[in-house]
Structure 1
Amino acid sequence: MTDLGAHVVILGAGHAGGTAAALLRQYGHTGKITLVGEEPIPPYQRPPLSKAWLKGEADADALALKPLEFYADNGIDFLAGVRGVKLARSPKELTLSDGRVLNYDILILATGARALKLPVPGADLSGLLELRTAADAEALKAAVGPGKRLAVVGGGYIGLEVAASGRALGAEVVVIEREPRLLARVACEALSTFFRTYHEKNGVTFELGASVTGFVGENGQVTGVTLADGRTVPCDAAVIGVGATPNDEIAADAGLDTARGVVVNLEARTSDPAIFAIGDVAHRPMPIYDRMFRMESVPNALEQAKQAACAITGRPAPAGEVPWQWSDQYDLKLQIAGYAFDVDEVLLRGDPASGKFAVFHLKGDQIQSVEAINSPPEFMMGKQLIGNRKPVSKAKLADPTVSMKEVVA
């Protein structure tokens, strides 16, 4: 029987951790809840950091998951500005960076991921930025503006969102990508070409197939990015967006199973029954694709927060969800459902020149993933088809004059 009076400690106050704390109370947990966050502010939405925050359209209060008083009002002890440094599974103790030791009955690891660093000369210069936190976004906002030159290292979704926001703020923007095309690891070539063309129309320039070998500066401040071909790209600031790695060290040191993240089951439970892991740090099952995978997305954080909260409070497990994510750039909304695992055919629906189209990734006659630009029906119906694994007519799917409802039927 689940102990609704157990002390639950949540390490990590991002979207996953903050949601888990709120859901535990919503689901009837009466025991003590301690939420530990490394940042000085309560849990907030992170996707707008590269968009609304940079453009001055949102601040910490607007993006907060819950008002600060929510935590005290609901008996959630929120500890800000501290991190976990050591986990002792017996006798269930978590040591914090300020020396405090928390005893827990149940522990939820929601430690997220951190930006990868470039191990090159000049990587310690001022003006080299990343975008994971509100403080990062504030530093970037102060660094860009009319007349400023911004270099973005990494042509993934975050890099492109930063580029779009930088242009909106009047900065000159150059995106430097090691691969020969944008989004090479996460999107098909049609989508890469579309985004490159759209960004170029908005004044962004690109250096593709370009490896960064270092950074140069004056008086400790970055002034340029050096490339493998010997050129230097001048800049006043540079954003490094070359991926992230999970913050799973505290779990690994405590002997929990890890594999590019903390290994969990469909309850978000780790190899220790008293410990859960959720969000960006979790290496989780994906039943649709019959594999394990680590996902970095808000929908995944919310789903796993539900899984853990249900398991802890004894509620039935939530229904499995199709993974999805989104990216906003200029007036474009990209919505992605599923992952392009084991794909043997890529099908284009609509005309990219219209700014409204979708790319479907299929395995046989089943949809594995859909990437939809300004096309909500294709996204929503595609997501449904990924979840129910129904075969589709490729001829109907490729014909934009056939409604997605007919495709599903």
Structure 2
Amino acid sequence: MSTPQNVLIIGGGLAGAKTAEALRESGFEGSVMLIAGEDHLPYERPPLSKEYLAGKAEFDKALVHPAQWYEENNVTLRQGARATSIDAAGHKVTVDAGGATETLDYDKLVLATGSTVRKLPLPGADANNVHYLRTVEDSDAIRSTFGEGKKLAIIGGGWIGLEVASAARGAGTDVTVLEGGKLPLLKILGEKVAQVFADLHIANGVDLRTEVKITEIVTEDGQAVGVRLEDGDAVPADAVVIGIGVTPVVDLAETAGLDIDNGVLVDATLRTSDPDIYAVGDIANHDHPVLGHRIRVEHWATALNQPAAAVKSLLGQATEFTNLPYFFTDQFDLGCEYVGHATGSQEQVVIRGDLNTREFVAFWIDENSTILAAMNVNVWDVLDDIKPLIAEGKKIDPKKLEDPTIPFSQV
């Protein structure tokens, strides 16, 4: 395979910026252009629901690289530009930049188009003070609703909803979380661990309402003033945040004729059905060589780490991406890390530590007594010992696993 001279990257988030970085760190001397839809420099999104939202960090801390990095590394950054179609046969991309259309050539193309928020089709959901969280502007708008005496209703008890609730309560806001399931995070964590997060929020003053059905967002003069439930109850609110998940942005990949199914299908090396196009980050439905099945992961670590493998592959050194899925969250005084992949509801859960004090490691175990995933909660420096147990598919003894006196290497 000939070495490409021209690599085009579409997507101005963490995955796109890390792809450009990996190209230069690999010694690639050809043309690198990054098409970024936002006017900002590429930035990381976790701070938008964590320290930046809480007012504990400046936005500059979220930038992947300062402006001079792109200049010093000869990376052409096209901010405020939007790719509209891909001609895979002709190796061309059509771009709209401020209403002006142009066509760009590529030898290799990397798609890092990320996700978009799921919208809630409810009456009143288009009110001025109904917010979703995806961009820094969204985070700024949500933070402006915080404060003593203000009421915030959050629809959705997933990671984003709970992190927003934590930041809002930290600012003295009255917070109500409305969740359709029996517990927040139930489908992800299962009942035993999900209850820990429910108790955490209740203990910190969140009005957590579960198993609710919402019929409308109540508005007056174009402003949301509450959320109406199916039982007729109305939750008063000065603002509403909706956090019901995201969907991968694949419309551009569709124009290229790529294979798509819950994202863009990629092989173990992150190559799509077109040998000259790779996909990384939220959109990549990856044939994971360690897990043994396809998985699409919408978390920071995937966007951070996949680009290095994709770049090696597109430069001719086929490299499988083998990292286990990973994410982290910080809520009130709880910090945790999760590694691996489990459904949360169908596996045995083994706990090492104390759920009541919220200092424990939870393990999700399948019917073969192998660990599918683990979460360390307010317990640190254990992931390096746990990851091999998951990656190697080692059969373990659950009784030994829950015993904190037995090293992980001996379970």
TM-score bin (small chain):
over 0.9
Alpha-carbon contact 2:290-2:322 (below 8 Å) kept: no
Q: Contact conserved, 1:264 with 1:270, CA < 8 A, in 2? A: yes
1:374 corresponds to: 378
Q: Which moved more, 1:29-38 or 1:313-322?
A: 313-322
Cα distance in structure 2, aligned partners of 1:15 and 1:198: 31
Which string of whole-angstrom CA distances, capped at 9 and with x for unpartnered residues, describes residues 179-232 of structure 1?
111102211212111111111111101110112222111221111111122221
Match of 1:267 among 256, 266, 269: 269
| 1:93-113 Cα shifts (integer Å, max 9, x gaps) | 211233122121111110001
Give a deviation string over 1:348-374, Cα, whole Å, max 9, x none: 211111220121111222111112211
Structure 1 alignment gaps of length 5 or more: none
Select which of 369, 379, 392 maps to 1:388. Answer: 392
The 1:341/1:202 distance shift into structure 2, 3 A limit, reads: closer
Q: In the TM superposition, what are the counterparts of 1:318-357 in structure 2 within 5 Å?
A: 320-340=322-342, 344-357=347-360
Question: 343-352 vs 216-225, which deviates more?
Answer: 343-352
Code of the residue aligned with 1:385 in structure 2: it is L
**What are the Cα deviations for residues 206-261 of structure 1, in whole angstroms up to 9, with x where unaligned?**
11011222211122111111112222111111111101100001111321100010
Correspondence 1:72-221 to 2 at 5 A: 72-98=71-97, 99-221=101-223
Report the 3-state secondary structure (helix = DSSP H, G, I; strand = E; otherwise coil) of the residue aligned with 1:400.
coil
Contact 1:28/1:313 (<8 A) preserved: no
Question: Which runs of structure 2 are paired with 1:34-45 in the superposition (5 Å)?
Answer: 34-45=33-44
- On the 8 A contact 1:377/1:404 being kept in 2, the answer is no
Offset at residue 39 of structure 1 (A): 1.1
Output the amino acid matched with 2:25. Answer: Q
Which consecutive unaligned segments of at least 5 residues does structure 2 have? none
Q: 1:238 is matched with which residue?
A: 240
**Contact 2:328–2:338 (8 Å) recurs in 1:** yes
Query: Are 2:275 and 1:276 equivalent residues in the alignment?
Result: no
Structure 2 SS opposite 1:143? coil
Shift of 1:318: 5.7
Letter in 2 for 1:3: T
Per the alignment, residue 68 of structure 2 pairs with 69
Cα distance change, pair 344–41 in 1 and its aligned pair in 2 (3 A): closer
For 2:363, the equivalent position in structure 1 comes to: 360
Displacement of 1:145 after TM fit?
Answer: 1.6
2:399 paired with 1:400: no
For 1:325, the aligned partner's letter is: F
Report SS of the residue matched to 2:144.
helix
- Aligned-residue offset at 1:287: 2.4
Report the CA distance between 1:383 and its aligned residue. 1.9
Deviates more, 1:100-109 or 1:269-278: 100-109
Amino acid at match of 1:71: Y
Paired residues of 1:349 and 1:399 also in contact (CA < 8 A): yes
Q: Which amino acid aligns with 2:86?
A: L
Is 142-151 or 113-122 further displaced after alignment? 142-151
Which of 257, 260, 263 does residue 259 from structure 2 map onto? 257
Q: 1:2 to 1:386 in 2, by over 3 A?
A: farther
Q: Is the 8 A contact 1:367 1:382 kept in 2?
A: no
Post-superposition Cα deviations, 1:244-286, rounded to whole Å, max 9, x if no partner, equal 1000011113211000100001121111111111100111112
Look up the SS of the partner of 1:97 in the other structure: strand
Kept in 2, the 8 Å contact 1:263–1:271? The answer is yes
Shift of 1:153: 0.7
Given that 1:2 and 1:312 are in contact with CA atoms closer than 8 Å, whether structure 2 keeps it comes out as no
Secondary structure (helix, strand or coil) at the match of 2:187 reads: coil
Mapped to 2, the partners of 1:254 and 1:315 lie a distance apart of 24
What is the match of residue 294 of structure 1? 296
Instruction: Find the residue that maps to 1:185 and give its secondary structure.
Output: helix
Report if aligned partners of 1:38, 1:81 keep a CA contact under 8 Å in 2: yes
Report if the CA contact (8 A) 1:360-1:367 is conserved.
yes
| DSSP 3-state at the match of 2:273 | coil
Question: Is the counterpart of residue 53 in structure 1 residue 55 in structure 2?
Answer: no
Give how far 1:25 is off: 0.5
TM (normalized to structure 2)?
0.95
- Residue 90 of structure 1 deviates from its aligned partner by 2.5
Mean CA deviation greater in 26-35 or 350-359 = 350-359
* Aligned partners of 2:268 and 2:320 also within 8 Å: no
Count of aligned positions: 406
- Is the CA contact (8 Å cut-off) linking 2:201 and 2:208 kept in structure 1? no
C-alpha separation in 2, matches of 1:273 and 1:286: 18
Aligned 8 A contact 2:286 2:296 in 1: yes
- 2-structure distance, mates of 1:258, 1:117: 21
SS at match of 2:356: helix
